Structure formats: C-alpha cells, structure tokens
Chains A and B, each alone.
Chain A
C-alpha cells in the first residue's frame, strides 16, 4: 500500500513539474518576420524600414501604390487616354472623381508618414550606426515626410498634420490644418532636413535624399502656395467661413511668388554644388541645342543622370508596367493598349522650327493620307520625337532596335478600321501617338527610374515665378534655358500674359507624363480646364488600315483623321480631391466642397 502511495506521489509530482514548465506558453518560433526590437537593433534592418518608406513615398501616385492601379495620373490629366473599361481612370473620365472613387490613396500618405516617424523616433536605438548617419537618417525621414505632405497639399489642400507616431490608445483626432499651416510645416520639415542632409552621398548610396532634393521639395511647395488656387482671396468653391482656409490662403500675396523664387534659387544653387545640372551638350545661351533629342532623352531616361536630383529608384518591372509599351513587354499587354497621347494635348508641341504643326482637325473635309502623318511626325520638335512613336514609325529614342519599331509593338497602336469610316470614330484609347518616354536608349530594359525632381523644374519654377512677380526679363531667361535645351530657338515675348501662356506650354511639353500636369492645370485655375484640357471633348486620330496582320507597318496604313472619341467629365469641385467618404463618415476630416 505504501508503495502505491509513493508511486502516486511521484507520478503527480512529475506531472506537475511537466505542467508548470514556465515557458510552455511562450511564443514559439514562427516565421521569418522580425519584430520592432529586431528592426532597430541593427543598422541593416533599420535601413530596411527606411528603404521601405522610400519605396512607398517616392513611388506615391506613380507605381500603382494608389487607387488607380492601372495606367498613370496622365490618363485623367488630359495627357493620355483613359484606359480600358476596368481601369478606374476610365470611370473617372466618365463620371468624375467622387468621394467613393478617389484617385490618390489617402491612407497611404499616412501609412508612409507613420513608418517615417517610427524610423525617426527609433533610429537612435540602433547600436551600429554613427551619430552623423543617425542625423542624416532623421533628415531623410523629415524630407520624405515633407514630400508626402506636399503631395497631400497639392491634392487635398490643408490636410491633417501628424507630427509623431501615435499609439492607438491616444487621442487620435488630428483635424485638417489650413493651407497656410500645411505649407509652413512642409517648409519647416525641409529646412530641418536640409541642415543634416549631405549634398551628395557616396556612389553606392546614391538615390537617397540630398540637400538639393529637400530644397526642391520646398521650392515646389512654395510654387503651389503661390499659384492661384491657394493664393487667392476667394477659393475655387466655398466651404464657408473659416473653413475656406482649409482650401485657400483667403488672400492674395505677391510675397508668395518671391518666396518661391528664393526657394527655387536656393535649390538651384545647391543642385549646382552637388553636381546636378541641366543636360545641354551644346550648352550656349540662346542657341538651340543641336543634340536635344539625346539630351532630353538622357535627362528623362538614363538612371542616375546628372539632371535628376531625385528619382523613384524602384526598378521593379511592376512599376514600369504602364509606361513601357515596347515589344519587350510581354505580360498583359492589353492593359497598356488604351493610354495613347491625346489630340487635346498635341498642340502643345511645336515643329522643330518653333512654329505650330498643322495636324488634322475635327471638321476636316477629308481624311489625310497616312504618309502625311509620318512626314509631320518627322517635323516635330526633338522632345516630341523623344517621347512618342506612332503607326508606321520607329521610335526615335531607340532607333536601331526592332522591338521599338513598327514591326513589334506590344499592342496595336492606332484606332483603326479596315474600312474608311471617315469622319466616324472607330475606337478610342490609342491616341494620336504612342508614348515612349523614359526609355531613351533603354533597349531591352523594362524598368525605369521615375524622375521626381529634374533641374529643369527649378528653371521653370523661376520662369513662372519671375513672370508673376513682374520680372519678365528674368522669366524669359529661365524659360529660354529650357527651350534652348529642347532644341527650340529663344522666345522674345515680353507681355506678361502671353509669356505666362508660353511658360505653361513649356511645363506641359517638358514634363509630359511626369505627374505634373494633373496638378498644374488645377492650380493655375485654367478657364478651359473643363473644355478640352481635362474635361470636355477628347480627340484622337482614327486610321484606315489595310488587311495585313501587322497593323503598324507603314505600307499598311491608308489614311487618318481626327475625331472626338469620348467626352470627359469635369466639375469645378475637382480642383481638389475628395477625402474618402469613410473618413468623412468617421468625422475625421471636413470634406472638400462639392463632394
């Protein structure tokens, strides 16, 4: 009997011992993901979070990290056609932006902001990083924060300014700041970042924010602050009372243009110090550049070229999907098919001699022979030929590469029909020409680096701001620097209003499909924005093409003409973006007017 009791005692004791192993419920080894302590316990991981934020911030509104998923912003900015019926840009062209169909991903701004603040607040914990680099990283986070808020400002007006990483238990109410507060905060972030960021990074670190980059962010921010949408006594639509300050300054001030001039000059000077400059191989003032096609092509396409102050160095093919239309692109080509250059935008381009081209117009008596297209295409200014190809044409930016030639476009590049349907519309989307921008000399490289700041922008900033400030001569100097580099003769226009139009045309041509136009035309408050610029009748060429299977062979093209392919929606409320309806329903923000 005793033995039994001993035995029971031992078995229960061992059972309890087994049961009470302290670590029994500890978290087991699970997966390869790391926790926050590991992130900031090594330089490698901390930088990985930083680079994750870089990818998100600089890819914002560009690489599909947004609500439009397909195509690019250009498809609702009057530059490129609206895309296929399943593309959100198609719906927006048809029915406008609504609070339930926005184009910019509002939440993603703040996801990125949060990631940046986490790095900013925790970087001091990293043991194997020196103090200088830590300061630089803090500068980078502030610079990228400024970049995100600049996007928010351009798109929404005054937005909530999150100035740290919140924990969910805190009061999370962050109301919209006014336009003025938003601008000031961005400027403050840029100034702070500029004090710690280097002018250049070592060669193997190139691509990270430099001093010139944050000064460029500041310059662009102040340009938008000075442009008429915000810099005005009356907003584009009223929100009522003090809420108008969320979408405008509420007063005009000429000083804002002076601030923009100073900021652009400072950025230009710093860019020069850092070795960034406009690529103009002939390089003489007031002389058209004879190698403009190559220079402009390199400036917009070659990774790491000296004109680029900051680029989104996301070299994934995914990011390039809607801009590489060559025969090299093999995956889901049909998705790229309907994003051609619009006839509405075409008149912005000149002939190489500086005069306007006589393209077919709606209402012409008869279609023109296809050879007319090829002839006129060849007469166009270098930037046009660098940025586009068309039916029957070899892309000038990759002249000897068959995959960039009419034999092997990934998709059909014309709105065609086998019969002569003049003046009726055959199809839409293929436009008047086919974008080849960002791929000068790229050959088989599918990816590209999207340029975020090129030195050219700073010159056009100065041209626009000097002109608004009444310093027409200085405006002309800066404008002509860009014209000359583009292979055009200098302008001698001195009338402020006419010069303004010329400068705006230069912005359009120089920065086609670089995500400028969408914001520029809104912030300039162009009167015709709903009548052929963004909204209104959309024009594209229509082609009669022979029966050969390759629809781009020159010998197969018969004739072409311009037609109205669809009507795009515009409403003045679209000067600024709507906040997502769910945010408004939560009571988090005051909605912009009209939505």
Chain B
C-alpha cells in the first residue's frame, strides 16, 4: 500500500512519464580509462539493451549508428558542445565563429540529401533529441559536455525507422548522464586558459595602400598617371609620420581568458540513483575594452544545473525525474547586428583603410575621429556606445514511469513519459552615442550623449510539450529472440513574439527485432506520422523499413579464425520523410499550410476626389496546392563491423539516399498562367557515399597506444528541380551537386594589344556586357560564341561549397601515468569563392566603395612604364579600380579556389597521479592536463590568401590553450 501511494504521488506530479534509457542507468560497467576509450566510435558496444525508438543493442542492432562518449566531448573546451563532434563518421562538422556565445558549429549528417530545406547553407537540417525528446539546436548547442553521456548519429533507414517525418535528414541522439549504483562520488573539473584568433588577414599599411591607390586612380583615368597621393604623402607614410592605424591592433587584444568548472555528484543504491551536474563557464571576447558601467567586452557566461534521478519502486514500477535549468548570458559592445553578434564591427575593421584618420582627433585623446564615409571609428564602436546584453533561460522537466508487466506475460513492459521544455529570452541594454570629429569639427550629426538604460524587456519565449508512450515486449524462446515496441509520440510546440507559431505532430511508430540463433537478425520498423503542415486527409503518411544482419563470425567456419575476431554484415532499406521545406519565402510559415490559399497585403491604392483615401490591396501570396505533402527519402545502407586480430576494429558503411517530392516552385508552368509562385512535390535528388572508420589498440612494453581514423565521403546530385529553363544546358545547376559554383570562365587578362587606339576592343574579341573594359581587366570565355560575354556564358567553375570528403585521424599513447592524444581533421572536395560573402569581398576587392586593400591586390595588373610599373606578365589580380566593376568582380573561375585543409583540432598532454599519492589525499582520481585547440592548420587557401579555409565571416575562429585539473573524491 505504501508503495502504491508513492506511485500515485509520483504520477500526480508527472501526469505522464518520460522515456528513459533505463538499462544504461543500471549499467555497472566501470568507467573506461580515458586513454583507452578515446575516439571510440563503434556502434556495437554502446548500450547493451534496446532503445525504444531505434535499436542500438550491441550486436543485435541492424542499424548504422555512430556514437561518441563524454570523455571525448570534454576534450574540446568550447562553450558549444557541437564543436566537440569531430571524428564521428557520417557527421560533418564545420567550425564557425569564435565569438563568445555564437560558437555553434555547423553540422550535417551524410552531407546534403536535399535542396529543399537546407537551412540556407546545407547544415543543421538534422533533428536533435536529448533523452528521447526533441530539442532546438539552441538547446543542444550550449549543453555542457559534462552533463552528456553520449552523442549518437542515426544515419540509415533501420536507425530512423520510427522517426517518420523527423528522419529524412538524420537524427542526433543525445543521452545525459545518470547515476549508477555504487559508491557516491564527487568530481571537480576545472580548466582555464587563453584563446586567440587563429589568424587575421590584415590590410595593407598606409604606404602600400596609397601606392596601389595611385595606380587604381590612374587606371580609372584612362591609364594616365594621375596619383592621388603625392610623393611627400607617400614619404610620410613610409617614415611613420603619416596616419597609419592598424585598426585590428587598436581594437583587439592578443588573447582572452576562458574558464569552465563543473561539479558532478553521482551515486545511488538499489532504490534510487542520482547524477547532479553543476556547471559554470565564462568566455571573454578578444576586444580591447574593459568591463565597466558603460562599456563591456563581449562575453558569454553559462550556469547550468541538471539533476537526473531514478527510483526503483519495486517489482513493477520504475520512475525518473530529470530537472534541468540553464542560464546563458551574452554581453557585447553596443555595436551589433542581428542576434547581437558584433559582425558589424568586423565589417568596419576589414573595410576601413589604415590612413583614414588617427584614432583621436585631438592630442588629449578625447575626441574620436570619424567622417561621413567612415563614421564608425572602431575604437568608438567598442568604447563609446554602451553595451547590450541578453539572457537566455531554459527550464526543462522530464518525468517518466516504466511498468514491468512480467505478471501479465514475461518481457512485457509499458513506459510513459512527458517533457515540458520552456525557453525564454530577455534583453537589457545601456546605450549612448559619441560625436565624430575631424580637425576639431564634428563631421556627422552624432552627438555625445549620456548612457541610457533600456527597460529589461522580454524578447519572446517558446514552450514545448512532448509525450511519449510505449508498450514493449522482449522475450527469448530457445534459439529465437524477439524484441519489439510500439510507441506513440505527440508534440506541441508554440512560440510567442518573434518566435512564430504553433507546430504540432503525432507519430505512431514501432519496431520488431527478431534474432535467430544469435546469428541471423531481421528487423521491421514503421512510422505512421501526422503533420499539421498538410491538408486534412493528407496529414498522415506511412513509412516502413526493413533491415537485417548476419554475424558471420559466429558461424563455424569463422569461429576459430585468428585473423577475424568479429564480423557482422548489415543491410537496411526504408523510407523516411520531412515536412520541412525552404519555400516559399513570401510566407512566414516556411512551407507549412501551403494547402490553403493565403492573401497578403500589397501597397495602397488611392481613390476619391480632392483628398483621395487609401485602400489597402490584397494579393495571393502563392497558389495553394491542396495535395502538397512531405518530402520523402528512400534510404539504402550496407555496412560491416569487423574486428581483426582482436585489436583492430573497422566499420564500413555505404549508402544511397533517393529523395523525391522535394517542395519546389514549378517553373514549367507558362508565364501566362499568371501566378508563378506555385509549389509542388516535384524535386528529386540523389545522395550517396560511404564511411570508413578504424581503430587500433596496441601496447608495446609500457607504452599503450591507440590509432584511429575515419573518412566520410558524400556526393549528391540534383536530378530534377524544375529549374527555369536555361539557354544552354551548361548553364544549368540541375544535374550537378548542390551548391556547385556556377559562373564565368576566366581566360586571363586583357592586354594592351587587345585594344584599338581609341580604346575599343579589337574585332574578333567578344564584347563583355558588364561595362567597358580596359587592359588588365578579366577576360572570359565566350561559351556560346555569340560575340558577347554575358549571363549565358556561365557554367560550372568549381565544386560545391560543401566538401565531399570529411576525414579525421589521430592517436594517443600512455606511459607511466602520462598520456598524449592528438586529433587531426580536414575536408576536401569543396571550392571557396573569394568573393563569396561580404567579408571575403572586403578582403579581395580593393578600393571599390571606399574600402581597403589587402596583400592580394599587390599582384594587380598595371602598366606605367614612366613610373617603372609593369606587371603585365606577372599579374595575379586584375587591374585596380576605385569604381564598381561588374566585369572583374562577377563570380568567375578566377576567384574560385580549392577549400581543402587539415587542421590539428586537439592535442592534450595529461598526467594521472598514481594510486599512492591520491589515496593519501583521499582521492579516487587526480588528473592534470594541458590542452590546445586548433593550434595548427595546413591549407593552400591560407598560404596563398591568408584566409581561413573553414570560416570566413566576421569574428574569426579561435585557437586556445588551457590547463586543467580533474579530481574525483
């Protein structure tokens, strides 16, 4: 009775309970020594019992899943755990900015399978689940590595069978740490260090800038030498008396501190188990500004708490309560763009030449310089505008209850769980302005003003309620084993304010896994998934999958083989889908509710005499398509898990993903139809590739070592996208990989002899239609041979901006308590457009629009024999100009470069104190370590153009060095 009462109380609080990975919680395996399990990615040994939504039960699994454990995640000290996921085969990771609070890496699973929902860049299209419940990327990205037990990547149809319309782009499955039965432990982890920019491509100094500017101005003046800067000015720049400001040096510090600390309390007995994690993190930005009442460096702070509690309530019931709270605080100087990133400042830093003005206009450094062309003195942007801050709060409660129904029939169980996840954002700013001076006079309308605080304002919130219930059955009869589950999922997501609208879905799914004689495995999975995106009657769709595995190493002919210790062959086929799509942009819901005809407001039309009155106009936003349905993915996968000589494990995967029904604007409809915005499920794409991962453990005398490596190759092709018919087949992007660079084909520079004396092009040369050309301009191939270079002469000029190959390798060794580990990672098969984004344009287009010049411009084509300038034969850059030049600065093969690189991601040297020492200190474990992130990069792009191959916008990526200690009591 007492027991029942306890259950009732639990239920009153929990209503419905939450899905757990119970057996993992009960697992009693010892924590593997960090130096042995590091970088282990095999799917075979992750969890020894079935998950309800997918099968990762050791050798009973038929699925392609790769998993990473907490010890590897902890190695990368980044506020965002997404930066720690290098080395998971099939998961492609692209590091982004090092800006505090904006570090989240770009992730995708097996490349890009669709051009439909690409999230703008082909990354971050996967669905993420934490402890069985879907979460937003914002929730996942800033989880603490210390609270995570494992991160798995679900890749194939067998793994994704039950996910329905959440599965097409793969799933990242995260489990958090739970208590284990045994002695209570308290672990302190603390580390601190410094981070600095990997590299900054600094502009030319004033002297070199002015020399090139003189050439540019002369080029613009009909190749007549008309320098803007006099020899005296040039001499002043050279001897240091002229204005020459390194804006980067004035605004940035060499490095910035990073600290994180965690306290983990863990333990339990038969009745109850707990794992409580406290976390603290502080990361400061690189800006040279102090934290005062009126100024602030950029910073990110995080405080998180997670308490995962398990209760064993007797023979039938198990309950669990997970409570999770997190505060994220982002502060930045008040010079921000969207999302409070300080990208604007970087735009200025890259664009403002060194000679525009000294930082201060007067000798006692009180009046900041500024002009109407360069109004935002970077030093002023940091020091004189105040600051902005925002605070993000996550609050999540998961409640779960499991019933072991062995009294009905052995192996039957039920499980209900419920999650409530709330997100809230608020802002607080203190702002002011400053006057800009030149020569003692103000140059803009800005005035010095007092610091004004804003009222603390809510900026929106999101609520997410999810329910998951399962009835499962697991049993063995002789040589037969059966493991099955039927699940019901329901999700209700609603946002307020800037976060949009409600999204609901329902999913009835299930799996049956059958094993015969521990060797032959067959599995069937399905999802009947209903999305509110579609018309009634078209909301529910059925997605089945089948898979099988054969453990060949258990057959007699391999049983005693000394080479092959283990061999499993797998195959799967099945269907998943997504209800996400990028289009149409004219309607704020993404692709939802396209089945209904919506009207938007157009401008006013005025009627009436004398003082006419305005009438709002309505127009159809798009043409409704009542049959619109989900984009579907048919996935095929074959895999092998192999262990050789008991120490070399190899996992091989090959896959094919056929997409159909990608929501696409139908461009075959004639214009006379009258509404060109009509979307239909007509797009088709193919994505295929393979993954190889290998791991070798060895020992040589007292040195234990491990070598590992993995490689993922993804190649996609757009089969059909209803492209607006192009004039020539070579113009089309259809039939090429997603993101393929299309542009003009560069054919060297125009030379003097290409022109008639009056400046016109000689006959026989094709006329470019991008504006008049002169010697030194880029010449292009006239692909259609019509005598004109225009938009019809574009074709494939490079690879996609997304790499085809992602690889990583490394190793570790330990010797008498010392250990050393290394992780390298790289990509190949991608192209970078040097004019691809505004930051790249700032660095690679000299002078145009009053901007800067960089080293690349020193290779420009120029011919002024009287001045001793003649680079006609050696030019690596078109002639300089101060005017907009559509001819030279169009997308062309001239600006397309290979994006391959290899980076040393992580190197760590640690020492674990010997038992004798730590026992005296009443410790179970004591470890000291030093660690470096991103210390070295090899890249042609970096060598040639000093541009980071991975991230090219705004605040740079960072490298950092830390020291830390882990102590377990």
Contacts and interface: CB of A to CB of B under 8 A. Distances in A.
Contacts of B615: 47-48, 51
Contacts of B599: 33-36, 38-39, 45, 49
A588 B671 CA distance: 8
Contacts of B467: 15, 18-19
Interface string B600-622: 11111111111011111111110
A11 B11 contact: yes
B792 interface: yes
Nearest to A174: B672
B671 A30 contact: no
B608 A204 contact: yes
A49 B606 CA distance: 13
A532 B501 CA distance: 60
A55 B11 CA distance: 62
With most chain A CB atoms within 10 A of its CB, the pick from B504, B539, B674 is: B674
- Would you call the interface of chain B mostly helix, strand, loop, or mixed? mixed
Interface string B191-226: 000000000000000000000000000000000000
A166 interface: yes
Contact of B608 (A27, A106, A206, A316): A206
Given A168-B678, A206-B607, A3 B4 contact: yes
B675 interface: yes
A95 B589 CA distance: 42
A55 B605 contact: yes
Contact of B605 (A12, A54, A582): A54
* Contact count band on B: 35 or more
A160 B530 CA distance: 42
Contacts of A173: 670
A110 B539 contact: no
A314 B603 contact: yes
Given A54-B605, A55-B617, A316-B603, A114 B674 contact: yes
A303 B606 CA distance: 11
B606 A314 contact: yes
Interface stretch (B101-109, B441-449, B723-731): B723-731
B598 A33 contact: yes
Given A27-B596, A33-B600, A52-B618, A165 B674 contact: yes
B365 to A, nearest CB: 33
A111 interface: yes
A172 interface: yes
A243 to B, nearest CB: 18
Contacts of B624: 36
Contacts of A4: 4, 316
Contacts of B469: 12, 15
Contacts of A498: none
Contacts, number: 229
A589 B620 CA distance: 25
B610 A315 contact: no
Nearest to B610: A304
A11 B17 CA distance: 11
Contacts of B502: 28-29
Interface string A56-85: 100000000000000000000000000001
Interface string B714-730: 00000000001111000
B612 A15 contact: no
Nearest to B317: A4
Contacts of A113: 674
B668 interface: yes
Interface string A13-26: 00100110000111
A7 B6 CA distance: 13
B767 to A, nearest CB: 8
Contacts of A165: 674
- Would you call the interface of chain A mostly helix, strand, loop, or mixed? helix
Given A55-B603, A106-B671, A15 B16 contact: yes
Contact of B625 (A30, A168, A318, A449): A168
A24 B612 contact: no
B872 interface: no
Given A19-B488, A33-B599, A585 B606 contact: no
B311 interface: no
Nearest to B600: A33
A15 to B, nearest CB: 6
A203 B608 contact: yes
A36 B623 CA distance: 11
A162 B617 contact: no
A150 B732 CA distance: 35
Given A160-B670, A168-B669, A39 B618 contact: yes
B756 to A, nearest CB: 16
Contact of B671 (A1, A52, A110, A313): A110
Given A51-B615, A91-B769, A207-B606, A588 B505 contact: no
Nearest to A30: B501
Contacts of A281: none
Contacts of B673: 110, 114, 162, 166, 168, 172
B532 A172 contact: no
B86 to A, nearest CB: 39
Nearest to B491: A24
B481 interface: no
B694 to A, nearest CB: 46
Nearest to A201: B607
A580 B671 contact: yes
B49 interface: no
B490 A51 contact: no
Nearest to B608: A204
Interface in B777-811: 788, 790-792
Contacts of A424: none
Given A91-B769, A313-B607, A588-B671, A31 B616 contact: no
A100 interface: yes
A12 B407 CA distance: 18
A549 interface: no
B598 A34 contact: yes
Contact of A160 (B416, B612, B672): B672
Contacts of A284: none
A34 B618 contact: yes
Contacts of B494: 28
Interface in B522-570: 530-532, 536, 539
Contact of B407 (A1, A11, A34): A1
A118 interface: yes
B593 interface: yes
A455 B35 CA distance: 92
B131 interface: no
B231 interface: no
Contacts of A400: none
Nearest to A4: B316
A46 B699 CA distance: 82
Contact of A585 (B4, B623, B726): B726
A174 B669 CA distance: 11
A95 B604 contact: no
A206 B609 contact: yes
B890 interface: no
A26 B532 contact: yes
Contacts of A583: 670-671
B670 A588 contact: yes
A588 B416 CA distance: 58
21 contacts: A11-B11, A11-B416, A25-B531, A27-B593, A28-B502, A30-B589, A31-B501, A35-B598, A35-B599, A45-B618, A49-B617, A55-B604, A110-B672, A114-B675, A118-B620, A159-B672, A165-B674, A172-B673, A206-B612, A207-B612, A582-B724
Interface of B: 4, 7-8, 11, 16, 316, 403, 407, 414, 416, 467, 469, 488, 490, 492, 494, 501-506, 530-532, 536, 539, 587-589, 592-593, 596-610, 612-621, 623-625, 666-676, 678, 680, 724-727, 769, 771, 788, 790-792, 884
What 4 A-B pairs are tightest by C-beta distance, nearest first? A52-B617, A114-B674, A585-B725, A588-B670
Given A25-B504, A52-B605, A314-B604, 7 more contacts: A33-B599, A39-B599, A115-B620, A160-B672, A162-B672, A203-B610, A585-B725
